[in-house]
C-alpha cells in the first residue's frame, strides 16, 4: 500500500514539474514573440529631404534611327527578268536602271502600234495631196488627220511600255535587300517585290517627351544627337515634327532629322540620344522621382513625421531626369520616403536606414 502511494506521488510530482516547465516556456516564448512583433512593426525605409535648388532644364530622350526614305520596290508590269544590274549593298541614284525585263506582249504591241502609225501617216499624206487637187473633201482629210493623231498617241504609249522593260530606281539609296534573280517571273497583280531601297543620307530619330518637356520645344530647333556606337561623335539634328496630341502613355512623339556624315556611319535601327539642352536653370522645389507611390502621375508620397509614415496627396510638376518638381503639398525640409513604400501603409512606424 505504501509502495502504491509512493508511486502515485512520484507521478504527480513529475506531472507538476512538466506543467511548470511548459508554462515557463510559454511565458518566455510570448515575451520573445512580443519583442519580434515590436521590431517587425517598424518598416525599414530610406529617405530624402525636400529642397529648393537651381535645376537644369536640359533633358535627354532616347529613340532609334530610321531612314529618311525607304521603299519596297515592286514590279508594275508582268515579264521575265533578263538581267539584274545591282546587288545588295550597292548605292543607286534616281533613274538608274536596276533590272531588264523581257515582255513579248509589250514588244508585239509596240510593233503593232508602229505599223498602225505608219499606215495612218501614209493615208494622211495621200489624202492631203488629193485634197489639193479636189480628189477628197475637207471632211475626209480631217478624218485621216484624226486617225493619224490617235495612232501617234498609241505609239508613244507603246514606246513608254517598252521603256518600262528597263526598271529604274524611283529613289536614291542603298539596295538593302534583293528579292529577284535572272529568270524570275514578275507579275503586276499582285505585284512582285524586287528590292528594298533605303536612303540613309539623312535619318529620322523618333523620341517621346512628356508634357512639361514638350512645352519648350519648337519646330526647327537644333538638337545635339549622339549614338552609343559612336560615343565620340556628335550629330546635328533638327526638330521636324512635334505631335499635337499625346499618345496612350501621355507622352508626345517628336521627330528629329539628322544629316549623316560622308561615310554614312549612322545606320537605320541604331539607338540614338537627343540632348535637348537649353542651358537654362530655374529655382525648383524637388524630390527624387522614386519618392512617388506607384508612378509620378499618382501624386502620392509618404513623409516621415515623428517616426510615423504619413501618406500625402501632392501636386507634381515637371519631370527633370530623376527629379520631380513639387508644385504644392510639400515644404522644404520635409522628409520623404524613397525606398520601402511597397511595405508601407499610412500610419506605420518606420526605421530610417542611413
- Whether 144 is in a domain gets the answer yes
CA–CA separation, 64 vs 287, rounded Å?
A: 30
Domain housing 343: 44-55+281-352
Domain end call among 258, 276, 294: 276
Its pTM stands at 0.54
Do 306 and 347 fall into the same domain? yes
- Whether 9 is in a domain gets the answer no
* pLDDT at residue 39 greater than cutoff 50: no
- Whether 184 is in a domain gets the answer no
Domain end call among 261, 276, 291: 276
Burial of 204 (0-12, 13-18, 19+ CB in 10 A): buried
Number of domains in the chain: 3
- Whether 258 is in a domain gets the answer yes
> Which whole-number Å values give the CA distances from 172 to 60, 197, 200, in the listed order?
32, 8, 9
- CATH number of the domain bearing residue 240: 2.40.30.170
Domain end call among 242, 257, 276: 276
* pLDDT at residue 5 greater than cutoff 80: no
Do 329 and 348 fall into the same domain? yes
Q: How confident is the model at residue 29 (pLDDT cuts 50, 70, 90)?
A: low
Give the tens place of pLDDT for each residue, 54-83. Answer: 887 778 889 999 999 999 989 877 788 889
Give the tens place of pLDDT for each residue, 335-352. Answer: 999 998 888 889 999 998
- Whether 246 is in a domain gets the answer yes
- Whether 36 is in a domain gets the answer no
Could you tell me if 199 and 70 are in contact, meaning their C-beta atoms sit under 8 angstroms apart? yes
- CATH number of the domain bearing residue 156: 1.10.287.470
Question: How, if at all, do strands 349-352 and 42-49 pair?
Answer: parallel
CA–CA separation, 255 vs 253, rounded Å?
A: 7
* pLDDT at residue 31 greater than cutoff 70: no
Give the tens place of pLDDT for each residue, 168-206. Answer: 899 999 999 999 999 898 887 788 999 999 999 899 999
Could you tell me the strand order of the sheet in which 97-102 lies? 166-168, 97-102, 79-84, 185-186
Do 314 and 337 fall into the same domain? yes
Do 293 and 238 fall into the same domain? no
Buried b (16+ CB within 10 A) or exposed e, 105-136: ebeebbeebeebbeebeebbeebeeebeeeeb
Do 218 and 248 fall into the same domain? yes
- Whether 147 is in a domain gets the answer yes
Q: What is the model's pLDDT at position 35?
A: 45
SS3 of 250, please? Answer: coil
Do 152 and 205 fall into the same domain? no
Do 148 and 210 fall into the same domain? no
Residue with cell string 520596290 = 73
Q: What is the model's pLDDT at position 25?
A: 58
Could you tell me if 299 and 287 are in contact, meaning their C-beta atoms sit under 8 angstroms apart? no
> Which whole-number Å values give the CA distances from 10 to 18, 19, 190, 323, in the listed order?
12, 14, 104, 76
- CATH number of the domain bearing residue 293: 2.40.420.20
Amino acid at each position: 500500500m505504501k509502495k502504491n502511494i509512493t508511486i502515485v506521488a512520484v507521478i504527480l510530482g513529475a506531472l507538476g514539474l512538466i506543467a511548470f516547465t511548459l508554462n515557463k516556456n510559454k511565458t518566455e516564448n510570448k515575451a520573445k514573440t512580443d519583442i519580434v512583433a515590436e521590431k517587425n512593426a517598424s518598416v525599414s525605409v530610406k529617405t530624402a529631404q525636400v529642397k529648393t535648388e537651381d535645376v537644369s532644364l536640359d533633358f535627354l530622350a532616347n529613340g532609334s534611327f530610321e531612314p529618311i526614305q525607304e521603299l519596297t520596290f515592286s514590279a508594275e508590269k508582268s515579264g521575265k527578268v533578263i538581267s539584274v544590274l545591282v546587288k545588295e549593298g550597292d548605292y543607286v541614284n534616281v533613274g538608274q536602271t536596276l533590272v531588264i525585263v523581257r515582255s513579248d506582249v509589250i514588244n508585239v504591241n509596240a510593233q503593232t502600234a508602229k505599223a498602225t502609225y505608219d499606215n495612218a501617216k501614209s493615208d494622211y499624206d495621200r489624202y492631203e495631196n488629193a485634197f489639193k487637187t479636189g480628189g477628197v473633201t475637207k471632211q475626209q482629210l480631217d478624218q485621216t488627220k484624226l486617225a493619224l493623231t490617235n495612232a501617234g498617241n498609241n505609239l508613244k504609249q507603246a514606246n513608254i511600255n517598252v521603256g518600262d522593260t528597263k526598271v529604274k530606281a524611283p529613289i536614291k539609296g542603298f539596295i538593302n535587300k534583293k528579292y529577284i534573280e535572272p529568270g524570275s517571273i514578275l507579275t503586276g497583280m499582285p505585284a512582285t517585290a524586287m528590292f528594298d531601297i533605303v536612303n540613309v543620307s539623312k535619318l529620322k530619330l523618333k523620341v517621346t517627351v512628356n508634357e512639361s518637356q514638350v512645352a519648350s520645344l519648337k519646330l526647327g530647333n537644333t538638337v545635339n544627337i549622339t549614338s552609343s556606337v559612336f560615343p565620340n561623335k556628335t550629330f546635328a539634328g533638327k526638330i521636324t515634327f512635334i505631335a499635337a496630341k499625346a499618345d496612350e502613355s501621355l507622352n508626345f512623339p517628336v521627330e528629329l532629322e539628322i544629316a549623316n556624315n560622308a561615310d554614312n556611319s549612322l545606320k537605320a535601327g541604331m539607338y540614338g540620344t537627343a540632348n535637348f539642352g537649353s542651358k537654362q536653370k530655374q529655382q525648383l522645389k524637388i524630390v527624387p522621382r522614386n519618392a512617388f507611390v506607384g508612378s509620378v502621375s499618382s501624386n502620392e508620397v509618404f513623409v516621415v513625421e515623428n517616426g510615423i509614415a504619413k501618406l500625402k496627396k501632392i501636386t507634381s510638376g515637371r519631370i527633370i531626369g530623376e527629379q520631380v518638381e513639387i508644385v504644392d503639398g510639400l515644404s522644404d525640409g520635409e522628409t520623404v520616403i524613397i525606398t520601402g513604400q511597397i511595405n508601407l501603409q499610412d500610419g506605420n512606424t518606420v526605421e530610417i536606414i542611413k
